[in-house]
Structure 1
Amino acid sequence: MNASGDELAPEVRAIVDAARERPGGDTRVSVDARSFPDAVEQTVADGRIPVIAEVKPTSPTTEGVRDDDPVELAREMVTGGATALSVLTEPDHFGGTTDSLRRIRDAVDVPVLRKDFVVREEQLDTVESDLVLLIARFVDEDLSDLVEAARERGFQPLVEVHTRDELVAALAAGADIVGINNRDLGRLDVDLGTFEALAPEVPDDVLLVAESGVKTTDDVRRMREAGADALLVGTAIMDGDVRQNTHTLSTPT
């Protein structure tokens, strides 16, 4: 599924264009992944909400840059109750690095998602992680082939969608972890109703993640009631005390 640049906000078009220029790794990776579904199940058994806390130095939709040591931020998030971590590796617009992901994954014992704009198979070989984000709208190859290529390396692919057509494509590609992004990457606006509209169409055996726009405990409850198995939260955790913010969202009262 290859998005036309004319449909995208300029910031997003620049990100995707840069992603298409980035090379892949020199050596095929082989990952011994920590199970994200098991981590979600254990979190629920412990009476908490599964939260994927995002280590995001900056982004086109946030102001300023957070320059704390990403490893320390990650440890604070885990201490606060994060089920998993999302680590940006996109360098040009999000301030991410593959080195940060490696260091974070070595420092924590929860699953780690590589969040980037992976558009073709060789870019999977850039760094090891437990999960890898595949954005249905932006992949340059057949989505089914890219999902299978990720699994062959040991990754757990999290396939991100925003529209019904993308969801149909993700399910047809065999995705068993799906993220519904409440942010329209064409216009960059956010609507939690996106998740609520699409979630009922996701089979029960697919692990469903709500992405973007979760800022408060009320938002957490809203997404959980709509069917979210887990929530990916970036700005609301990175803006302030990451340990306390993670704890608040994962244990709403």
Structure 2
Amino acid sequence: MNDTLAPQVRSILRAARERDVAADDRVSVSPRSLSAAFADAESDGRVPVIAEVKPTSPTTEGERRDDPVELAEGMVAGGAAALSVLTEPEHFGGSTENLERIRDAVDVPVLRKDFVVREAQLDAVAADVVLLIARFVGDDLADLKRAAEERGFQVLVEVHDRDELERALDVGAEYVGVNNRDLAKLEVDLETFERVAPHTSGDVTLIAESGVSTPADVRRMREAGADGLLVGSAIMDGDVTENTEALTRAESEGSA
């Protein structure tokens, strides 16, 4: 399966498998509720957006060198319901230290965005939500999800197609993210979410990931069934507060 991944993604996965874990103790988390944060956003007339603190990535140019805490606070000021913080160091410029600092500074749920492939990596840092990518973890999805939940994490399972969705549902995923980016070609297609979303059950919180850059994109994903959206590059490129507000207020401001 991994030989079908784009070279950049294979490099990310290889680094994740080789990365040492320096954690001395098993993490125990009392998480801030992601579903409650989404509900609060909805009641306030905001689209639930998980805004991503992403210094760089293999699919973007340059690097954002602002203080990550200031970026995070700006996103919350713009109405973000939750934050995603990259902790992958080699390809995304992230760190567990950034996540710790951000989580101490804000009062919204914080997702740890990394490429966890074995249980020990869960103990690298406390967060409210942890990402498990179905394509990366394969048959270990159920065991890793259970291990994450035993530590108190809420788990976001990322999928890209119907088969991965079925695996996520089979292990009882409560939060499912549909990545519009094809990890084989790194191409983004919003139709991916539109194809996958109808096959989820009503008790799953469904999050559209990647490719959302305008208020029109937000409305399109919401109409297709997205309970929330995870947005990185479109927010990081420019004033993060203004960019976040433009997306969180997309439904209340009418057409783009």
TM-score, normalisation: structure 2: 0.96
Rounded to whole Å, the distance in 2 between the matches of 1:167 and 1:26 is 34
Q: 1:21 aligns with which of 18, 21, 39?
A: 18
Residue 58 of structure 1 is matched in structure 2 by: 56
The counterpart of 1:101, out of the listed 93, 99, 112, is 99
**Are residues 1:211 and 2:247 paired?**
no
Distance 1:141 1:163 in 2: 16
2:137 match: secondary structure: coil
Q: Secondary structure at the match of 1:220?
A: helix
Contact 1:101 1:114 in 2 (8 A): yes
Q: CA deviation at 1:27?
A: 1.2
The alpha carbon displacement at 1:186 in A equals 1.2
Gap change, CA 1:31 and 1:101, over 3 Å in 2:
same
Amino acid in the other structure paired with 1:20: R
Q: Which residue of 2 aligns with 1:7?
A: 4
The CA distance in 2 between the partners of 1:99 and 1:141, in whole Å, is: 30
Q: Give the Å deviation of 1:84.
A: 0.2
Q: How many Å separate the matches in 2 of 1:83 and 1:154?
A: 20
What are the Cα deviations for residues 145-188 of structure 1, in whole angstroms up to 9, with x where unaligned? 11111100000000000011100001101110000000001110
Please tell me the residue identity of whatever aligns with 2:198: P
Q: Is the counterpart of residue 221 in structure 1 residue 219 in structure 2?
A: yes
Tell me the distance in 1 between the aligned counterparts of 2:82 and 2:20. 27
Aligned to 2:235: 237
Asked if 2 retains the 8 angstrom alpha-carbon contact of 1:112 and 1:130, the reply is: yes
SS at match of 1:122: helix
Q: Structure 2: how far apart are the matches of 1:27 and 1:194? A: 39
Whichever residue aligns with residue 23 of structure 1, its letter is D
Structure 2: tracts of 5 or more residues without a match: none
Between the aligned partners of 1:233 and 1:50, the Cα distance in structure 2 is 11
SS at match of 2:136: coil
Give the CA deviation at 1:53. 0.3
Contact 1:119 1:140 in 2 (8 A): no
Question: Number of aligned pairs?
Answer: 250
Q: How much does 1:141 deviate?
A: 5.3
Separation of aligned partners in 1, 2:122 and 2:227: 25
For 1:109-188, what aligned pairs fall within 5 Å after superposition? 109-139=107-137, 142-188=140-186
Mean CA deviation greater in 212-221 or 132-141: 132-141
The CA RMSD measured in Å over matched residues stands at: 0.8
Amino acid at match of 1:167: L
Q: Return the offset for 1:23.
A: 2.5
Where 1:154 maps in the other structure, the secondary structure is: coil
Between the aligned partners of 2:183 and 2:154, the Cα distance in structure 1 is 23
Q: Which amino acid aligns with 2:179?
A: N
| Counterpart-to-counterpart distance in 1, 2:241 and 2:99 | 19
4+ runs of 1 displaced by more than 3 Å?
A: none
Deviation at 1:61, TM superposition (A): 0.4
CA contact (8 A) 1:98 1:127 kept: yes
Identity %, equivalent residues: 68
Give the alignment partner of residue 247 of structure 2, picking from 242, 246, 249: 249
Which has the larger displacement, 141-150 or 213-222?
A: 141-150
Give CA-to-partner distance per residue, 1:6-65, whole Å, 9 cap, x none: 201111100000000012322110001000000001110111100000000000000000
Counterpart residue type for residue 236 of structure 1: A
SS at match of 2:135: coil
Tell which deviates more after alignment, 132-141 or 199-208.
Answer: 132-141
1:76 and 2:69 equivalent? Answer: no
